[in-house]
Structure formats: structure tokens, C-alpha cells
A and B are shown apart, each in its own frame.
Chain A
Amino acid sequence: NAGVTQTPKFQVLKTGQSMTLQCAQDMNHNSMYWYRQDPGMGLRLIYYSASEGTTDKGEVPNGYNVSRLNKREFSLRLESAAPSQTSVYFCASRTYIAGNTIYFGEGSWLTVV
């Protein structure tokens, strides 16, 4: 059982380049999330999708866009990458049936130079 799968695991971008982080979950979860983790900052929510067809901003949405492609997939796009977006990105998913526990992917390390 793969759980939550993110790609790519590592990426180096030049300032101004664009890229998309892909995320897929095979647990039939309704809700999906994108977090970023920075040193000393914990996990901060970028965007979330409470259910298929809906997306909403989290705590730090600026510079990002998302697409809930279907129930399984939730992508995060950086249209014009900036050095401040250097971070570790985590996708997560949750079903309300299981309470408020969310399950994370293994992370995507992004460096913007």
C-alpha cells in the first residue's frame, strides 16, 4: 500500500522557472493538503482541498497554485519560483471517517537558486 506518493523527491530550479509537484494517494481519502516545512517554522499549510472539486488557501498560499485533478491527485504549482520558496514540501491526505489524522507523503526537497 503506497499511501501518499509525491514526485519529484528533489528538484533544483532557477529563479523565475515554473514547476509542478505531483501528489497521489491510494487510500480513497476525501481531503488533501500541501504543507511546507522550513527550519524553525514547523509545518505550514499552503493549500488544501476538502473534497474533489474544491480548493482553498491555507496559511501561506502566495506564489502557489493547486489543482485537484481527481479524488486521488492534488498538484502544487510554482508559476515563477523564488528563493523564498526553497523548502521541503509535504503532501498529505485525510478521510473524516478516520478522524482528524492526516497521512503525509515522504516530501519533496525544492531548492530555488
Chain B
Amino acid sequence: DQQVKQNSPSLSVQEGRISILNCDYTNSMFDYFLWYKKYPAEGPTFLISISSIKDKNEDGRFTVFLNKSAKHLSLHIVPSQPGDSAVYFCAASGGYGGSQGNLIFGKGTKLSVKP
């Protein structure tokens, strides 16, 4: 039973346009959400996060939106650049202690930004 779902395995966007990556979750106990970016042959790197007490967090070209009622979050990249081409993983956790503090990852979305 997938608790974190990324229903789009891939996304192709033109350079300069907006990329929107989506993520849905089922566990209402999740209170912290993260996005990781992964290039081939490298480890995932942290991109941006959001706490459940917020509905938006922005960092440069990257903005994460959280809709708790819909159990949905999205990552917006504006403007998209060819260097953004990577696999993006959504992750969630509930609390800091014990197993509920562990991150649960989605299956990832491969973003391709075309020049």
C-alpha cells in the first residue's frame, strides 16, 4: 500500500516554462514533506521541504505547495532549465521519533527540460 504516490513517471517541459510535479499521500499523520532531486549515478540531494503548518514554501525557482485537505503537494519550478532534468522524489514523514519519523518516498518523476 503506497503511502506516497507520484502518479506521473515522467514529465517533459520546454526550457523557460513552468514544471509542475505532483505528489499525493494517504497517511494523515504525515506532517513534514520533502522533495529530493536525483541525477543519474549520484545520490539524491535535498531540494526543498514544507511543514504541515504551512501551505507554501519558496526557495528561488522552486516552490512547494501543500493542500492538506486534499493530501496533495506539488513542486513548481519556474523557469525550468535544462540542468533541472533529473528524477524528483517526493517524501513524507510523521514526527521525529521512532519509525514514524522515517521518510517514505514516492516512486519518482523523471523531468526532462528541453532546450
Which residues of A approach B to under 8 Å, CB–CB? 4, 33, 35, 40-45, 48, 50, 56, 58, 90, 92, 96, 99-107
- Chain B residue total in the interface (Cβ 8 A): 26
- Besides A43-B44, A100-B103, 13 new A-B residue pairs in contact (Cβ under 8 A), listed by A number: A4-B43, A42-B89, A42-B107, A43-B105, A50-B97, A92-B43, A96-B96, A99-B49, A101-B34, A101-B46, A105-B43, A106-B42, A107-B42
Which of A40, A100, A104, A107 is B9 in contact with, Cβ under 8 Å? A40
Which residues of B approach A to under 8 Å, CB–CB? 6, 9, 32, 34, 36, 41-46, 49, 89, 91, 93, 96-99, 101-103, 105-108
A104–B108 alpha-carbon span in the complex (Å): 16
Which of A50, A101, A107 is B49 in contact with, Cβ under 8 Å? A101
A105–B44 alpha-carbon span in the complex (Å): 8
Q: A56 and B99 in contact (CB under 8 A), knowing A101-B34, A101-B46, A107-B42?
A: yes
Check A99–B43 contact: CB distance below 8 A: no
